[in-house]
Structure 1
Amino acid sequence: MCEKILLIDGHSILNRAFYGLPDLTNSEGLHTGAVYGFLNILFKVLGEEKPEYLAVAFDRSEPTFRHAKYPEYKGTRKPMPQELKEQIPLLKEMLEKMEIATVSLAGFEADDILGTLAKKGEEKGMDVIILSGDRDLLQLATKKTMIRLPRTAKGQTVIEDYKEDQVQERYLVTPAQVIELKALMGDAADNIPGIPGVGEKTATRLLAEYGSIENAFSHVEEISQKRARESLRENYQMAQLSKELATICTNSPIEFEQEKFQLGNIFTKEAYELCRKLDFRNFLMKFDPAEVNENTIEQDFFICNDLEGCEALFEKAGQAEAVGIALLWDKEGVYGAGLALGEDEMYYVPVEGMVTAAYLSDKIGRLGKSTTVCSMDVKTMLKRADLTPDANVFDCGIAAYLLNPLKSTYTYEELAKDYLDGKLLPGKEELLGKISLKKAWEEDMPELEHLACYMAYTAFATRAPLKAKLQETGMWKVYTEIELPLVFTLDSMEKWGIEVKGEELKNYGEKLTVRIHELEKLIWQQAGEEFNINSPKQLGVILFEKMAIPGGKKTKTGYSTSADILEKLASENLIINDILEYRQLTKLKSTYADGLGAVIEKDGRIHSTFNQTITATGRISSTEPNLQNIPVRMELGRLIRKVFVPEAGFVFLDADYSQIELRVLAHMSGDEKLIKAYREAEDIHRLTASQVFHIPLEEVTPLQRRNAKAVNFGIVYGISSFGLSQDLSITRKEAAAYIQKYFETYPSIKGFLDGLVEQGKEKGYVSTMFGRRRPVPELKSSNFMQRSFGERVAMNSPIQGTAADIIKIAMNRVYKRLLDEKLRSRLVLQVHDELLIETWKDEIPQVSRILEEEMKGAANLAVELEVDMHQGNNWYEAK
């Protein structure tokens, strides 16, 4: 068999990847999507072709015309997007790290280099594969040279293969005639003018009959098609220039450096590190761990799998100041633990024999009483470890979240890279791939030992730098006094869960189904035909074409039927009101009536997960299922709260902060008028309306109060005049006047909000009253929309974040009081500014007092925190 060389058109494949894939950025904000796509295609073709030699050709610089020898030809290419231009040196760096040869030559484009190398490769008896997105290269196809052209089909990359026979079969011309074909047709992308009036069919027919442009011109009077005949006669010189421009040079002065092109091991340690830096996690499994990991900590990994050894190990751990712990478990069981006694002593303790899950739980619980237990995720560990709320713990994930709340994940390998001098550790996917913990444990895979030890090591080693950074940024108190205690509060809430009446949930779903069918028939009746109401395309045609409802906005894919568009048209069109209700009810049915029924556990309760490290402002979020998003706007939505009930002998007490964010705004801005209004227990929205519209308090209409309320809450969220105009269905000018009058009424607020934006620009972050930071990188964006978003974030985050801090403090205090006073009542749910307590009936007065005292006392503001409290036999009644 002949040796094989793969030649790649660097710019072409990178360009194709850029436009064919979503833009990606790594954790440092580098654009990486095109490089990722290039490597995907590279690995695919290498796997298929298995060449002995490889070279990637690049244009010397971004070209402005086709050939340097035709400077008089003024054709220009569309400028390369900056996001793509930035990735060219990144790709070249990656190829260098992979020890893949790159070739470029001043005055010649990549396809000239490819043409020359292909010709020389053939002369050496090699099979040549050219990978490019440019069909121009089909002119290079021979019996020995194959052109491979990637394209996208149904969201997948497929590659078309062409040798000379396939070119003739597909295009009805020889590879050499591809040049003639392009010269006649022209190519705007490559600035080849062609000749007017000649398309692909005409050009193909001319070449089939005459063979070449020159021969066609010599028989021009015989050409039957008048337009083609006259165009060729008048534009023959342009056709010749086009032919020159379309011809790839196959004798450029480039050396065929066979030794340089030799393909070796491309999965080098340097390439691995760059893949880690660029967050190309899918590629990391391709690297041999033994080749790329020089992590000397692996020599300090040990296995302890006998009871006597474990007893000695945990006794030694109990005498240390701090230890790193990683518990390996999933829903099917506990498989072992990682234990780091220092940065050079890590143990893996598998569940085996007398070392049971219960044994590990007990030992970890005991450690929490004598030493500091460091973990990547304490709350997750609490599901299987017997740690009590008074345990000494350090949660590395939460510490990292506080320091950078904009990240989406806080894995041990990311923390090692960020806080251990860029140390690169293999992640869970690199170690186990898609193999489950259970299977890895059953097969006694050594990678499980490594996973446990890496996690324990990182938890131990990052504690000191994380603590130092929290102290340096002034967030140590936020961490120790708010976030860390909250771990135990949320763990308790998750374990208790909340009871759901399955039968009532089913009945509720049936009621929704009846109303959904009613609405469906009503909508069809008004439309005059049946159609798929859930199809935006069909709905758009019905509303804006058949029914000719004004106000439709057409996009590339049809009319927009988004909620904001339809809500603006609802007041004048009954069908749109019905459609909006239909959508709300179908969402209610799928998400709640059906969705909640699927997650009721054996104890009859739903156990949601409360997340501390998701939102950038510090708010808690709820998932699996999301109990914080139960609808409240429509009565049928609110009714679903009836299915949430307390255990027999208990009732629900629901306590809700009243206007907490406005009260925080009053305090943080120091606005005397707003503070005075709250201290005098005024209706804040009525008072705002009175002052903004300059009318007596008693003359304020409900509409004016509603508008003032929208302004009050809108200011908290940094609302623009456009946003307010949309909310109130008024003109932008009227909205701007409202906002201006508001700031005139409360003058200190404008200065406060502007000051937050300036702080964000100067420092790169804004802070809550308690010192929690929220980075605002958008303020430095060159994009106006991004900067505007950043300004709203800068205004809102300190207010919303402070409110989130206050509710967290209140939750921790309420939870601790319930424990300290040994009550049967328990905190089961938090929804933004609301706490729900499942209260033992005999403890109602005591729990009411606890809620009142701890929620009001959670922060010392210039205005008093107010709490609305209600009692009920289900969540609906209590709310």
Structure 2
Amino acid sequence: MTVKISSPNVSGVEANSNLPTAADPLYEDLMAWAKSRKRQFLRNRVQQSSEPIKAITAESETPSDSDAWIETWYTPPPLPSRIAKQKVTLFQSHSMNASSAPYQEAGGKVEAEEVKEIKPFISPSPVTSLSTPNHGSFEIGQQVVLRPDSQRVPAGIPIDAVLVIQEMYFNVYRQHQNIWCVWCSSDAFSGLKSIDSDCLIPLPKPVHTADIEGVSEIEFSGLNIDERLNSGLSHTPVKFEFVEDGQRLAEVLKPFQTCQVIAVDTETIGLDPLKDRIRLVQIATANQPVIIIDLFKVAKETLTPLCELLQGTPIKVLQNAKFDLKFLQQAGLPIAGKLFDTMVAAQLLDAGVRSHGYNLAELVKVYLGEDLSKEQQRSDWSNPSLSSEQLEYAARDAAILLRLREVMKPKLTGARLVETAKLEFDCLGAIAQMELNGMLLDLSRWDDLRQELERSRDQLADGLRKQLQPALLSTQLDILGNQASLNLDSQQQVLEALQQMGVPVKNTSKLSLIPLAEEHPPVRALLDYRKAAKSVQAFASSLPKHVHPITGRIHPDYQQMGAATGRMSCRNPNLQQIPRDKIFRSCFIPAPGHCLVVADYSQIELRVAAELSGDRRMIEAYQNNEDLHRLTAALIADKSLDQVEKSERQAAKAVNFGLIYAMGAKGLAEYAYNNYGVQMSLKQAETFRKRYFEAYQGIARWHGAIKRRLPREMRTMGDRLRCWQDEPKLTELLNTPVQGTAADITKAALAKLPTALRETEARLIGTVHDEILLEAPEGKAEQAAQILQQVMEQAGQHYLRKVPVKAEVAIALNWAEK
């Protein structure tokens, strides 16, 4: 907030007579703004309850109970009379020495003082208001902190928050108690707070001397609420030391060696760790200036103290840690030990309900209520002489991570997410290694595959046109009067042709076409063509573009929590979507002298579902090492196990993995075709679905229990949380604990593998959900395979106690040989 001074020369009495009354537009605007902020905060809380929230509009009916509650909860008291407004609070402490009471800036500790007496007194004169404030009084514009032992602190204000007093009024609801109306710069939700006077301790200096000049003569002619200008703490100067030589580096890092927590940040000249360099490394800790190290000027052989610190015992706090880990690894400064990633922590706390971005500026806004300038982010960091603005920007980015962590820690604890956060932090190093190592693509073989796929696509297109072209209306002519050629990528033309041929279809979506493919050959031909066209467009033509010019390998970007369930995703390129067909995977090969070691969990999601549901038949099948897909095929086809055919077992795969999430018949048919190439009619899907739930009654009961409750939050077996703002779908409620637990298991294995594989020289090169890939020297591939299998199974058994976990491993010369 900015207080505008309009009458600096009037007397104190005149100023008091001009203070706003309850009818002042200024006061009304201020309170309306505060009320709207508080209303949104309360609405966010109520949305977690069972009663749905509906927006109140002019056309809407009577507000719900929750909306009515929100409207009445925060009704500000009317401004009292001018006489009451002349009173402020005299704060007298009773300690060993009140005059030497320790007052520190935000983030420091304030010693508790016993309140002896609170008395009202008349507002100070203009002269005294301009002098250094007395510690026994508050003044408008003065900076204060909360008493550490205060019991009446509004929710949402951290104990070390700095508050700026804007105006004071008398509490009309509680006699003999003054209230200070303050602006809390650390509160992202409501901003304005009304706090009992005995909860506050004044600091000796005001925040903005320009804003309080002539404060006791103030006339509130305007009160501009500008959060960007008043986000306070993130714009205060940050102490730092810029290090350009190795000798000085050793000296300044000595105090950091015994710290429990440090923040680490980097500034780089680009975004590619394989070709770009780090310019600065920033190290921050409490009660020390931020150390900024210029790697362009500090000799590499003198970086040992920094390397030891990064490898040492302090917890390292980073933002988007994976980025910094890769650059530091390439610079010969690998980080080891415990990590805390503020971006990952924020994603966990959001629990699948994303309302903001995860860059540092947005996290600072959400969790600290401040604006963090990022103007220097895109400046030239390769310039031999860095500006003071660049150095301050770098120091601030590191220092603020410590405060973010302190705010996030209790939130993670309150949400029961500490163990999940530890899991995510522990596997950061493995994910960074996977991205740096990358996978090797046989470009010659891939080009042959591309040409073969293009020929196949063209042949399928010709065949499809011959079936559909005659069905086009004869009125579709080009400008020369000839019949127009059918555009296979035009949904409208294809739909019209299919309808002319008598196919009962209203659109050409895959979900609509799959059930009709068995009875209508043109539909089958259309699906085959689209699959071939997608293979060419999505993989064959684009993948070679991602081969790195320096390494000759593909280095994808893994999103650690790419799905709301906690499952990882992949992009640039998405290697997790590479088809399982051998023609595709055979193009991924190891480096010369190496082998691929590939392991995946056997039916991990089914095993998790068996554990969660307690289905007796499914659990016994796994305990007896039976083939669950064959068992399911026998149950739904009403056959003995030895009569089950290969095609029936393949169909049972789709049934097992689809129906644990309560898919409908249409969804099951589409899933079977997309993932297993199984042609299943709608009638067959309905029959399979009915028989499946008759056979696995534990699964059916589990589904029923979830369906009756329809909760708005679910947890994995590792306590990972997912929430929904609106009523969730049943499939999502069932999918979350199963897929999420499977993701937790894979991540637990990834976290342990870098250390377990150290002696084998094997490298992590990729993961696809329940599959992990290594590249190992030929002579140590067997050892690496044994370790990989052991680590994966141990990780699974940490979560599943009744159902055995099995990982299947293979040593191969390409990805397809698994």
TM-score (structure 2 length as normaliser): 0.64
Aligned to 1:150: none
Could you say if the C-alpha distance between residues 658 and 348 of structure 1 is closer, same or farther in structure 2, counting changes exceeding 3 Å? same
Matches within 5 A, 1:545-694: 547-553=500-506, 560-601=507-548, 602-632=550-580, 635=581, 638-692=582-636
| Alignment match, 2:306 | 363
Alpha-carbon spacing, 1:709–1:501, altered in 2? closer, same or farther (3 Å) = closer
Given the alignment, which residue of 834, 842, 846 partners 2:783?
846
Question: Using a 3 Å threshold, how does the CA distance of structure 1 residues 501 and 277 change in structure 2: closer, same or farther?
Answer: farther
* Aligned counterparts of 1:848 and 1:348: Cα–Cα separation in 2: 43
Provide closer, same or farther for how the CA distance between residues 274 and 530 of structure 1 changes in structure 2, counting only shifts above 3 A.
Answer: farther
Matches within 5 A, 1:204-243: none
C-alpha offsets along residues 493-522 of structure 1, whole Å, 9 cap, x if unaligned? 112111112222222222222223323333
Residue of structure 1 in register with 2:328 after alignment: 385
Deviation at 1:588, TM superposition (A): 2.2
**In the alignment, structure 1 residue 753 sits paired with structure 2 residue 753:** no
Counterpart of 2:398?
A: 456
Q: Which residue of 1 aligns with 2:738?
A: 799
| Aligned pairs for 1:686-835 within 5 A | 686-692=630-636, 695-700=639-644, 705=649, 708-724=652-668, 738-756=688-706, 761=711, 764-779=712-727, 787=728, 789=729, 791-819=730-758, 822-835=759-772
- Alignment match of 1:473 (pick from 383, 394, 415): 415
For 1:325 and 1:27, locate their aligned partners in 2 and report how far apart those are by CA, in whole Å.
36
**Distance in 1 between residues matched to 2:295 and 2:795, nearest whole Å:** 47
- Show the counterpart of 1:509: 450
Query: Who is 1:536 aligned against?
Result: 491
1:298 maps to 2:236: yes
> Residue in 1 aligned with 2:154?
none
Counterparts of 2:43 and 2:249, CA distance in 1: 42
Look up the SS of the partner of 2:714 in the other structure.
strand
Residue 532 (structure 1) shift? 3.0
1:290 to partner: Cα distance: 8.1
Deviates more, 1:682-691 or 1:501-510: 682-691
Quick one: structure 1 residues 811 and 583, their matched pair in 2 at CA, closer, same or farther if it must change by over 3 Å? same
Task: Determine the structure 1 residue equivalent to 2:425.
Answer: 484
1:399 aligns with 2:349: no
Give the match's secondary structure for 1:652: strand
CA distance in 1, matches of 2:328, 2:724: 38
Alpha-carbon distance in structure 2 between the residues aligned to 1:700 and 1:850:
35
CA contact (8 A) 1:336 1:357 kept: no
Please identify, of 482-491 and 621-630, the stretch whose mean Cα deviation from structure 2 is larger. Answer: 482-491
Q: Is the 8 A contact 2:453 2:532 kept in 1?
A: yes
Paired amino acid for 1:749? I
Give the AA of the match of 1:520. Answer: A
Amino acid at match of 2:789: E
CA RMSD of aligned residues (A): 4.2
Give the superposition deviation at 1:380: 1.0
> Residues 74-132 of structure 1: CA distance to partner in whole angstroms, max 9, x if unpaired?
xxxxx89x9xxx9xx99xxxxxxxxxxxxxxxxxxxxxxxxxxxxxxxxxxxxxxxxxx
Q: Within 1, Cα distance between the matches of 2:525 and 2:680?
A: 24
Shift of 1:740: 4.9
Matched residue SS, 1:299: coil
**Superposition deviation, residue 365 in structure 1:** 5.7
How big is each residue's C-alpha offset from its partner over 1:599-640, in whole Å with a ceiling of 9 and x where there is no partner?
A: 1122221111222132211111111111111012xx4xx412
Q: Residues of 2 paired with 1:425 and 1:359: CA distance?
A: 37
For 1:625, the aligned partner's letter is P
393-402 or 724-733: bigger deviation: 724-733
Shift of 1:735: 5.4
Return closer, same or farther for 1:361/1:505 CA change in 2, 3 Å cut-off: farther
SS, match of residue 438 in structure 1: coil
Instruction: Find the partner of 2:468 among 527, 534, 553.
Output: 527
Quote the residue 1:866 is aligned against. 806
Deviation string, structure 1 residues 411-470 (Cα, Å, up to 9, x no partner): 2233334443xx212253xx25xx724369678455534542342123211223333333
Q: 1:733 to 1:530 in 2, by over 3 A?
A: closer
Code of the aligned partner of 2:349: L
Letter in 2 for 1:866: K
For residues 551 and 599 of structure 1, what CA distance do their matches in structure 2 show?
43
Tell me if structure 1 keeps the 8 A contact 2:188–2:365: no
| C-alpha deviation, 1:356, in angstroms | 6.9
Q: Write the deviation string for residues 292-345 of structure 1: whole angstroms up to 9, x where unpaired.
A: 443365223435254365544333333322122221122343232443222x75
Deviates more, 1:586-595 or 1:496-505: 586-595
The answer to whether residue 274 in structure 2 is matched with residue 326 in structure 1 is no
Give 1:836 shift.
1.7
Q: Check the 8 A contact 2:188/2:366 in 1, yes or no.
A: no
Query: In structure 2, what is the equivalent of residue 376 of structure 1?
Result: 319
Aligned length: 590
Q: How far has the Cα of 1:736 moved from its partner?
A: 6.0
The secondary structure found in structure 1 opposite 2:504 is coil
SS of the equivalent of 2:595 reads strand
SS across alignment from 1:304: strand
Kept in 1, the 8 Å contact 2:279–2:382? The answer is: no
- Distance in 2, matches of 1:346 and 1:425, equals 21
1:313 aligns with 2:266: no
What pairs with 1:147-226 in structure 2 (closer than 5 Å)? none
Tell me if 1:436 matches 2:378. Answer: yes
Please identify which structure carries the higher helix content: 1
Q: Secondary structure of the equivalent of 2:285?
A: strand
Aligned counterpart, 1:498? 439
1:411 lines up with 2:359 in the alignment: yes
Q: Determine the C-alpha separation between the residues in 2 that align with 1:522 and 1:730.
A: 23
Q: Report if the CA contact (8 A) 2:318-2:341 is conserved.
A: yes
Is it true that 1:351 corresponds to 2:291 in the alignment?
no
CA displacement 1:25-47 (0-9 Å, x = unmatched): 999989xxxxxxxxxxxxxxxxx
Contact kept in structure 2, 1:346 and 1:456, CA below 8 Å = no
